[in-house]
Amino acid sequence: MSPLLWNELYIALVDTCYMVGISTLLASILGLPLGILLFSTAPWGLSPHHLYANILGGIVNITRSIPFVILMIALIPVTHWLIGSSIGTSATIVPLTIGAMPFVARLVANALADVSSELILMARSLGANNWQIIWHVLLPEARTPIIKGIVLTMIAVVGYSAMAGTLGGGGLGDLAVRYGYQRFDYSVMLLTVIILILMVQIIQWLGDYLVRLCDHRVQLSSCTDRQTV
């Protein structure tokens, strides 16, 4: 590979990290409250509401079922209105965020639903309102599965970003198409795949490390072991 191609590879890697990082952050910021609403309005939630639950659940399920390439094409007018362009790394963040947000919302709702109902009843008996229960009971108890869900979403966004490259989204996917597929240089395609695999492995490793830091069960086990010693 020529020095020019190595430079292109470095720029593509930086662009991919930029797209994945910003999209995952925005999807988490928007998906977390949506997931809380999904859980709260569900029949087993804090404020059950049949109509709202069906509307929110329908929106999330429909968005999740649309293939990302189709979603990206359908959002071209929205992307152009928000960014001023429908191609490039910044423009790709819009469909990446919208595509990842419902996954975060559903994972958050499932994580909150797994919290013991006894803890919720205990908080209610102490006079806590719904927001206090969410902030002081549900989110702390569900933080480990929520982090795991965000990590899984981030890994999925890596794959989405590679697909976006085929439609002018930039990043490693675009490099693989322009320099690998179109020029029949399969070494570039292979190197791109290896880099994407390494990115996924690093994200998973960092996610597992963060989960161990935040999991109160692991912390309690560690404290118990020290006391035993």
Tens of pLDDT, residue by residue over 194-209, are 999 999 999 999 999 9
pLDDT for 64: 86
Number of Cβ atoms within 10 Å of the Cβ of 139: 17
| Average pLDDT in the chain | 85
Higher local confidence (pLDDT), 201 or 5: 201
pLDDT for 175: 83
Cα 120 to Cα 10, 112, 115, 123: the distances in Å are: 50, 11, 8, 5
20-39 confidence digits (pLDDT tens): 999 999 999 999 999 999 99
* Confidence check: pLDDT of 172 > 90: no
pLDDT for 50: 87
- 191 pLDDT tier (thresholds 50, 70, 90): confident
49-94 confidence digits (pLDDT tens): 889 889 999 989 888 888 888 888 888 888 888 888 878 888 899 9
Query: What 3-state DSSP class applies to 49?
Result: coil
Q: Are 120 and 133 in contact (CB under 8 A)?
A: yes
Distance CA 116, CA 12 (A): 45
Query: What is the pLDDT averaged over residues 182-194?
Result: 80
* Confidence check: pLDDT of 179 > 80: no
Query: What 3-state DSSP class applies to 66?
Result: coil
Query: What is the pLDDT averaged over residues 171-196?
Result: 81
pLDDT for 101: 93
pLDDT for 96: 93
Q: Is 127 exposed, middle or buried (0-12, 13-18, 19+ CB in 10 A)?
A: exposed
pLDDT for 222: 45
* Confidence check: pLDDT of 150 > 90: yes
Residue 46 DSSP one-character state: S
Distance CA 167, CA 69 (A): 8
Percent of the chain with pLDDT over 70: 91
* Confidence check: pLDDT of 224 > 70: no
What domains lie within the chain, and their CATH numbers? Answer: 3-228 (1.10.3720.10)
Cα 9 to Cα 1, 92, 170: the distances in Å are: 10, 18, 11
Distance CA 101, CA 206 (A): 21
